[in-house]
Amino acid sequence: MICVTDSTAAPHPRTRLDDNFASPIRFSLLASLGDGIELDFTTLREILQCGDSALSKAITHLQAAGYIVARKGGLGGRPRTWVYSTPAGRAAFAGHLQALREIVALGGGPAL
């Protein structure tokens, strides 16, 4: 198959996909954290149906990207971690979703 490119065409929307959301757990984590929503680690683990290690790695990755903040504290004498999205994280996620919508639209698929 030959791929012909038009140098005047806008870049394909896939070029705007954010690699920070390449992991289904990271994608789902950000999807769970809407504006003003803060969830604790245990609740996130239950929502995402994943293990502690996978969730911890996702949190660490997204925090390093500046997309979430994890704050640690205690509740009833037990250590707890709460997570919330940053404005940069919400903007990046919205841009990623828009790129996905445009990719589907290019293929004539159903609207997302």
Enumerate the domain spans of the chain.
18-88
- Interatomic CA distance for residues 106 and 78, integer angstroms: 50
Is it the case that residue 5 has pLDDT exceeding 80? no
pLDDT at 6: 63
pLDDT at 76: 75
Using CA atoms of 103, 104, 106, 108 in order, give the dihedral in degrees to the nearest 10.
170
Q: What is the mean pLDDT of residues 76-86?
A: 90
> Residues with Cβ < 8 Å from 86, sequence gap 6 or more?
66, 67, 68, 69
pLDDT at 34: 87
Q: Tell me 67's DSSP state.
A: S
Q: What is the mean pLDDT of residues 88-99?
A: 97
Is it the case that residue 110 has pLDDT exceeding 70? no
**6-58: pLDDT as tens digits:** 667 889 999 999 999 999 999 999 999 988 899 999 999 999 999 999 999 99
Nearest to 41 by CA among 22, 67, 60: 60
How many Cβ atoms sit within 10 Å of the Cβ of residue 59?
A: 20
CATH topology assigned to domain 18-88:
Arc Repressor Mutant, subunit A (1.10.10)
